[in-house]
Structure 1
């Protein structure tokens, strides 16, 4: 039975009802020695507590898209087949232009809560050694004959940790919010892509490459990016690509965009952080060298010192103590052509929640529309 499916949710509700009714009907009718009666009553109370906790977990998990499968929750799924040392550029000496096309079969998304138009595929990363599901949403203009020769800009969507690739479509309703705005011409048409980021048991990869462990950076910035270009009318230049993330995904979006200005032009970071150690389960945060190298401020400082500030536009939003200061720090370091826009969110807006990020979706895509371009 699927962890996120309706059958499991209804089953958990039914069990909770049983757990409540059972003591009411049997509490005074249990026969036998005192020890047996006491044990039976304790088991009924324990059953009631477990079912109540289960229902709460299911509600929270479904609302926030934290875990996709039982394997994600229990840590039994493996999404890393290999983790070779791919070098500073994450390519392992290979060139994208020399790699053969990777044509994928797509099917409708398996979760109706993601809304209409979302399709999915199972991708085997040729460079990264990572495998996982990738969700793609096409703008309403994609099948319009007037746009048949158009290459569309792409935004890679990154969830928090723990987090599901479904979250932007399920919890944040990105597709449902953007479709009418794109149809009316209020927002530029984008291809939206969300790939699995929960790759290792009990660990946030921090979107870094760690030889022998995981190549999460190359999975997102090489394999997923190339697959989208191979299968859809997507622009293949940096001007056509951006990232957007919230919480741990915000850290990843800023880090990846600043690290790879040859692949991305812009990034949105909502309620994120610069120091990966602020996420206790971050692999990057636990390694002293990786902690420094994967900090967006360090990446920007290093590029500035080398006389090559990246042509990257960042949009950072957050409340005081929840992403705002991270944006201010980056803005203070930014040198042209790097630009950093910081938006402070009210402390009363709702905290570190999907409701806060969901409300920002139209605004951040209006901003993204000014940073990337549609290719005729």
Structure 2
């Protein structure tokens, strides 16, 4: 039986229930004095606890797909990079204001959080650099942490008048930006790809998916609540354009993420193609739902139901005109719960939208899997965006 199979889970739960029943039935018989009754009581406790804990751990793993196979559980991972497959032919590619003050829309925070990050080692003009900042969002009314990776070309004389393409990288929930820099190794991977000329020089901005922690805002403009979509599609680009030499046209902007961050990336691209015409989604879901961590994201009544439908991406493709965007989605045939939905999503894609995919034979919902997908995803995204875009006058 597979590690994530329901038959294994139900079998272990049945065994746990039987062990509890046997312990209750045998306990009076094991109440005597002596070594054997003592060993019997200890054995009953240990076996019962093991079966109960196994049931709980299997249920948690089944729900979250941390490990997809017995091999992964004992540390045997396939670490080879995924391969991008083009699915469709490429076509044409109320708010509370915040005073930016003297610090502007991007505030440098020194080395905050960088001690846990994989920072490219070497001169800035050879490997690039990583900055820790806070982004001021005047419309959404928040100030959010971010890491900004600047490629080596940003510091080279021949590029001093050029604006660079941008990838917004969104972590999963409840993880933060350190997960992107340390566990997923986004800046290190981007630096290596750029040095090897497998990716064009690109600014990468690492952010979290929520602007109202601990609530999971899922990149949604909540009626009467946090304006996450506004933050990502208006405030964030405004702040970055004010402080960095980044492209001013949409063709230079892309968004990517893993898990709920991947869901955000797809949602933002398909709902706001004029801001993010390129998206890379690692292990994403294809619709946003209310749960205990999100609260009511969509509002009540008919308007709430309409908002909920419009955040179902397969429904959008089946009922609304397709946006002019290019997306890449990833999944695994074994170990990921979203594999069937990924196939359904890809079948629903229609012109002028284009899609590519990375489908691994096996791989669970964890960083070991996403590290196999991050390099080909970044490389693919780099080919979709325009550089150099314009001259910095």
TM-score bracket, normalised by the shorter chain, equals 0.5 to 0.7
- Structure 2 match to 1:106: 108
Matched, 1:353 2:366: yes
Q: How does 1:188-207 map to 2 (within 5 A)?
A: 188-207=200-219
* 1:328 aligned to which of 343, 353, 356: 343
Count of aligned pairs: 276
For structure 1, which segment, 327-336 or 214-223, has the greater mean C-alpha deviation from structure 2 after superposition?
327-336
Aligned counterparts of 2:338 and 2:359: Cα–Cα separation in 1: 9
Classify the secondary structure of the residue corresponding to 2:384: coil
Classify the secondary structure of the residue corresponding to 2:270: helix
Going from structure 1 to structure 2, the CA distance change for 1:108 and 1:291 (only over 3 Å counts) comes to: same
Deviation at 1:338, TM superposition (A): 0.2
- Structure 1 match to 2:145: 133
Aligned counterparts of 1:190 and 1:248: Cα–Cα separation in 2: 23
Q: Which has the higher contact order (CA 8 A, sep 6+)?
A: 2
Classify the secondary structure of the residue corresponding to 1:282: coil
Aligned counterparts of 2:375 and 2:213: Cα–Cα separation in 1: 33
- Structure 2 match to 1:294: 311
Going from structure 1 to structure 2, the CA distance change for 1:282 and 1:342 (only over 3 Å counts) comes to: farther
- Structure 1 match to 2:43: none
Structure 1 contact 277–286 (Cα < 8 Å) conserved: no
Structure 1 contact 109–135 (Cα < 8 Å) conserved: no
Q: Given the two structures, how large is their TM-score scaled by the length of structure 1? A: 0.68
Deviation at 1:284, TM superposition (A): 6.0
Structure 1 contact 316–324 (Cα < 8 Å) conserved: no
Aligned counterparts of 1:358 and 1:223: Cα–Cα separation in 2: 29
Classify the secondary structure of the residue corresponding to 1:373: coil
Could you list the per-position Cα deviations for residues 191-246 of structure 1 after superposition, in whole angstroms to 9, with x for gaps in the alignment?
00122433334431111001321001111111111111111110011110111111
Aligned counterparts of 2:244 and 2:298: Cα–Cα separation in 1: 38
Pairwise CA RMSD: 2.6
The unaligned stretches of length 5 or more in structure 2 are: 1-65, 67-93, 98-102, 120-128
Q: How does 1:14-93 map to 2 (within 5 A)?
A: 84=94
Structure 1 contact 195–224 (Cα < 8 Å) conserved: no
Q: Given the two structures, how large is their TM-score scaled by the length of structure 2? A: 0.65
Aligned counterparts of 2:182 and 2:288: Cα–Cα separation in 1: 26
* 2:357 aligned to which of 342, 358, 363: 342
Classify the secondary structure of the residue corresponding to 2:361: coil
The unaligned stretches of length 5 or more in structure 1 are: 1-63, 65-83, 87-91, 93-100
